[in-house]
Amino acid sequence: MTSPLRGVRLVALDLDGTLLPSSKVLTDRAIGVLRDVRAAGIDVTLATGKGWNHTRRYAEELGLTAPLVALEGAYVARADGDALHRRTLSDATLRGVHDAVRGLDVGVFYCHDRWRTRVQRRLDGWLPQIAIWDPHLDVYDEHGDDAGHSAFVVHLIGRPDAVGAAHDRVAALALPDVEFFRAEFWDGHDQLHVRPAGVDKRSGLTHVLDHLGVAASELLAAGDWWNDVGMLRMAGVAVAPANAVGGARDVAHHVTERSCEDDGVVRFLADALRTL
């Protein structure tokens, strides 16, 4: 049987729900298998919505040296933090978003540089979940002190009806070079991302591929969620864990038998190495 890793030069892995179980702790199996993948001459990178702090920490645990994709593709950098690509929303756009959603029952958080994330106080109850993206959180009361701030991606969190109203208000501003991504958050809440146009994991990985001189056909990508669909579509080999949403499963070439809670993608890579 031909190994799914045959001809692959780069493996790109989503973190939450793909490489990481709900504990957010890398397993010994994951660390060992990815070490073996690299020993076979195949680079490994991470492609995640997390901020740079967490992205870099997991990369260091895994010993990765390839450039990393963080913040949904808005920030692509070498492991030492030297940026290959950086896209942010302007402070004027950030102010416009805040003003547009004023009075709605939604909260805002955003990473305004690669090191820190600002969180509206109304999202106090969600701080443990937001810390999954970035452990370095600065809580602010309300909009008004954003002068000089920009944002990689603005996250709006609330009940679906409130998030829908927020989308309509921000869209009505017709802000230049802005795109939206909406999906579930937790516990009956939705999230709306306001992103620089053209920013997603697929575009972020394109910068990594160009830097390494690797073709998309030589990429194995693994992801479980809606924001992974673009990178799965571009990859020569696309893998989704058993826990993946339907959109990711539909575009994957391989769906693993096990979920992220049992190292589904890691086991898939280990099996692929044995037949390489």
The answer to whether residues 256 and 239 touch, using CB atoms and an 8 Å cutoff, is yes
Q: What is the pLDDT of residue 174?
A: 94
Q: What is the pLDDT of residue 113?
A: 74
> Number of helices (H) and strands (E), helices first, in the chain?
9, 14
Other CB atoms closer than 10 Å to residue 271's CB: what's the count? 16
Q: Enumerate long-range contacts of 178-186, CB under 8 Å, 24 or more apart.
A: 178/89, 178/93, 181/72, 181/226, 181/227, 183/225, 183/226, 183/227, 185/129, 185/157, 186/126, 186/129
**119-158 pLDDT tens trace:** 999 999 999 989 988 899 999 887 655 556 779 999 999 9
pLDDT band at 90 (very low <50, low <70, confident <90, very high): confident
**4-56 pLDDT tens trace:** 999 999 999 999 999 999 999 999 999 999 999 999 999 999 999 999 999 99
Q: What is the pLDDT of residue 273?
A: 97
Q: What is the pLDDT of residue 143?
A: 63
**179-207 pLDDT tens trace:** 999 988 888 999 999 999 999 999 999 99
pLDDT band at 65 (very low <50, low <70, confident <90, very high): very high
3-class secondary-structure state, position 15: coil
Instruction: List domains and CATH numbers for the chain.
Output: 10-86+199-274 (3.40.50.1000), 91-196 (3.30.1240.10)
Q: What is the pLDDT of residue 44?
A: 98
